Amino acid sequence: MNMALNNTDRPNSYIGRSVTRPNALRLLAGKGRYVTDIKLPRMLHAAFLRSPYAHAEIKSIDTTEAAALKGVHLVATGEDLAKLCKPWVGTLDHFRGMKSAPQLPLAVGKVVWAGQAMVAVVAETRAIAEDALGLIQVEMSELPPVVDIDQAREPDSTRIYPELGDNVAFKLTVESGDVKAAFAKADGELEETFFTGRHTAVTMEPRAIIADYNASEEALTVYHATQTPYQFQDLFSRLYGIRESRVRVIAPDIGGSFGMKLHVYNEDMSVVGLSMLCGRPVKYVADRLESFVSDIHARDHRIKTQVAYDASGAILGVKVDDVTAIGAFSTAPRTSVVEGNQVVRLIGAPYRFRDYRADLSVVFQNKVQTSQYRAVGHPIACLVTESLIDRVGQKLGIDPFEMRRRNIVTSDMYPYTSPAGYKFERLSHEACLDGLYKLMDYPRLREEQKALREKGIHRGIGIAMFVEITNPSPAFYGVGGARISSQDGAIVKITPAGEVQCLISVGEHGQGTETIIGQIVAEHLGVDRELVRVITGDTDVTPQGGANWACRGAGIGGETALQAAKKLKQNVLSVAAAILQSAPGELDLINGQIVNRSDRVERIPLSEVARISYYRSDTLPPGTNPQLTAAHHYSPQGYPFAFTNGVQACHVEVDAETGFTKILDLWVVEDCGRIINPMLVEEQIRGGVVQGLGAAFFEECRYNESGQLENGSLADYLVPMACEMPDIKIAHVETPTQDTELGAKGCGEAGTAASSAAAMNAVNDALAPLGASVSQIPMTPQRLLKALGRG
């Protein structure tokens, strides 16, 4: 541990403190500025006609009547926008052999999922645009939909894209050690098949975009509810042939993202073209029904597993066959195979067995695309792994804590490379397990459980360990040819009044990025936090960077800010030295004052250094050119990823008569390295846990045989409500990464990574005395009753 960073008595010591978020005050006053709220002069509104069929040919489109409606400015078909926008393909080179058909803003010739946008209308108001949709005549001819994952792979199955040969997007085998030998020498083996339900992000603010093309400058400004403005600057520029320097993407307040707001969406790409055609700003905000059929979904997997173990409970080997369905395309620019890839690479990650084989098949189907959503792949890998550990423990009569202690990668084994090839710098499984045991008072809970069982009350306790991928280097996407940056940039400057602005490429969506960047800059520069203003989310203003994906804001953005602040401090001290006829090494900057490094005697305020630098440079010694702005870019070096870890426990009560589960308690012990703001880390964890509990008990996009989403509204698709969620107790272990000076790793996905698994283990623990178990999420009352033989 670096004590200098932890010395909370020092002035301007902010790292490690639960400070509040300055930008939250605006949101609390109803003065947020979301894309949904923005109105530009002469702005028009777009609406989209969507396919009612999952798979159909478009025979003809008649837009005459719609175009004639008063207030309608433009009706555009797929062919119209295809003249402006190049097609995109959601493949990457490092996923060898993967394929996906090219996509265009609007459907051309055929539709491949129910809800796919076919025609766009631009009108004075959204209501008029929607009126016009009703006047468009489309003649369609239905094709057999591909819905089921096995049906999709049959030799005589309908091909969604015949030119691709079959419906398989990608296949991968991960193999390590000798899994056959492991099974041969095992004392026992068991097999289980797991199902994880397709679900979706349900950000409270739906997707929203305003494109404003200015033909006289050949410039495009886009207000975009996105996590990754730089990525879209690149995409809009390349696909529409507009110079990159003239594409400005502004991401203002964002009403939730969770990984859903960084993919290429047909409507978003369309709106750019519509603005070019109209010569006016065009706005599109998805309504909630559109969100359900056009936002990415995730986690649609069937995982067949076999595990070999010995009599002591040691896991010897694991075999996995994961089939995941991703919709009709692989989503650009990150692809839809990353989730499956992470599932098969993260299974078993906390444990020490070496013999492993996993086969992954990623298949197309006539549904909306799946892609990266919070904790990509982690919840599935964790669910499978942790359920298998419990099932083996149950067979052998070994307690879940003991099973894990016998199988984890221990602290003497680092650095450690997992069977799937992930390199772990240092994880803290033992400390987290021990911490959890105490935090939840495990022995007491077991006693209480036993006593209640005698009264016919079925409570269960489930534990799930996790490993999370954070701080991704170019190994994640860059190596595959994706124009997705893993570096970030910061510009820190002193204003003439001696205050500070930090412009940084990582963005703010409520997680508290601006707050933690402010804490880091204030501490490392040596000023009061109140003086630091952090500015994010505008490609014309903030430096180039990766922005927000895969848990990187604190770890990579934070290190960038730290180094930029240090650089600026050196610049300040050299000007101060020139003014004071001292040497930079003899001075320090503390609490906005230049002081002697030796005795901390105040010499000159920072504001005075700034005033002289900006207004009276004539009074400085010749040759002094104050540099009160410093820029710094940082890209992860060393380990390809900074893995984090932790463990969760869930306590439930199952009503065996109704199948309803009450979540009683949830505990988390997590290690995200250096903690910059404990309150914000804990709130990330809590929010993440609840999304995982949603997946465990409620959330599922239910499709029928013809590929229609049957519960695509917020009344039908259940998300966790306040009354269903428990209080969540959290404890921390801190193992800073040595790859950075800051030592921070990510924490945004840790909650989601393991809570579904902990919940399933808890439910199965409750069901065990009744001779039942479940292996599918969401664990709905119907499914529990079925497991209990009452369904």
3-class DSSP state of 406:
helix
What is the widest separation between alpha-carbon atoms in the chain? Answer: 89
Give the nearer residue to other proteins in terms of CB position, either 7 or 20: 20
Give the nearer residue to other proteins in terms of CB position, either 30 or 443: 30
Give the nearer residue to other proteins in terms of CB position, either 604 or 718: 718
Give the nearer residue to other proteins in terms of CB position, either 110 or 529: 529
Contact positions toward other proteins, by CB under 8 A?
14, 17-21, 24-25, 27-34, 36-37, 39, 70-71, 127-128, 131, 201-206, 253-258, 287-288, 509-512, 529-530, 678-680, 682-683, 686-691, 713-715, 719-723, 725, 727-728, 730, 751
Least Å from the CB of residue 548 to other proteins: 12
Least Å from the CB of residue 677 to other proteins: 9
Least Å from the CB of residue 749 to other proteins: 14
Give the nearer residue to other proteins in terms of CB position, either 345 or 529: 529
Q: Are 418 and 408 in contact, with CB atoms under 8 Å apart?
A: no
Fill in the amino acid letter for 8: T
How many Å apart are CA 223 and CA 212, to the nearest integer? 8
Residue 415, preceding peptide bond in cis (omega within 30° of 0): yes
DSSP state of 729: E
Least Å from the CB of residue 678 to other proteins: 5
Phi, psi of 2 (to 5 degrees): -85, 105
Give the nearer residue to other proteins in terms of CB position, either 31 or 180: 31
Give the nearer residue to other proteins in terms of CB position, either 131 or 212: 131
Least Å from the CB of residue 401 to other proteins: 25
Least Å from the CB of residue 732 to other proteins: 10
Strand positions, DSSP E, 391-456: 416-417, 423-424
DSSP state of 158: P
- Scanning the structure block, which residue is given the tokens 């495990």? 442
Return the number of other C-beta atoms located less than 10 Å from residue 286's C-beta: 23
Least Å from the CB of residue 526 to other proteins: 16
Helices (H), 155-254: 179-185, 229-240
Give the nearer residue to other proteins in terms of CB position, either 567 or 686: 686
Least Å from the CB of residue 19 to other proteins: 5
Give the nearer residue to other proteins in terms of CB position, either 69 or 219: 69
Tell me the helix, strand and coil percentages in the chain, rounded to 5.
35, 25, 40
Give the nearer residue to other proteins in terms of CB position, either 393 or 751: 751
First and final C-alpha spacing in the chain? 55
In terms of Cβ atoms closer than 10 Å to its own Cβ (0-12, 13-18, 19+), residue 268 is buried
How many Å apart are CA 572 and CA 584, to the nearest integer? 9
Q: Are 318 and 348 in contact, with CB atoms under 8 Å apart?
A: yes
Give the nearer residue to other proteins in terms of CB position, either 177 or 678: 678
DSSP state of 310: -
Neighbouring-strand partners of residue 62: 137
Least Å from the CB of residue 617 to other proteins: 34
How many Å apart are CA 294 and CA 265, to the nearest integer? 8
Give the nearer residue to other proteins in terms of CB position, either 484 or 680: 680
Fill in the amino acid letter for 665: D
Give the nearer residue to other proteins in terms of CB position, either 32 or 746: 32
Instruction: Give the pair of three-digit tokens for residue 362.
Output: 């990623």
Strand positions, DSSP E, 177-264: 188-196, 199-200, 208-214, 219-224, 247-250
Least Å from the CB of residue 175 to other proteins: 38
Please spell the DSSP secondary structure of 103-131, one letter per residue. B-SS--SEE-STT-EEEEEEESSHHHHHH
Least Å from the CB of residue 725 to other proteins: 5
Least Å from the CB of residue 529 to other proteins: 6
Q: Are 765 and 670 in contact, with CB atoms under 8 Å apart?
A: no
Least Å from the CB of residue 205 to other proteins: 5
Give the nearer residue to other proteins in terms of CB position, either 181 or 714: 714
Which residues are CB-neighbours of 755 under 8 A, at least 6 positions away? Answer: 379, 464, 648, 650, 666, 688, 689, 690, 691, 692, 693, 696
Give, for 750, the enclosing helix (H) or strand (E): helix 750-767
Least Å from the CB of residue 626 to other proteins: 29
Q: Are 502 and 222 in contact, with CB atoms under 8 Å apart?
A: no
Angle at the Cα of 4 (from 2 to 5), degrees rounded to 5? 75
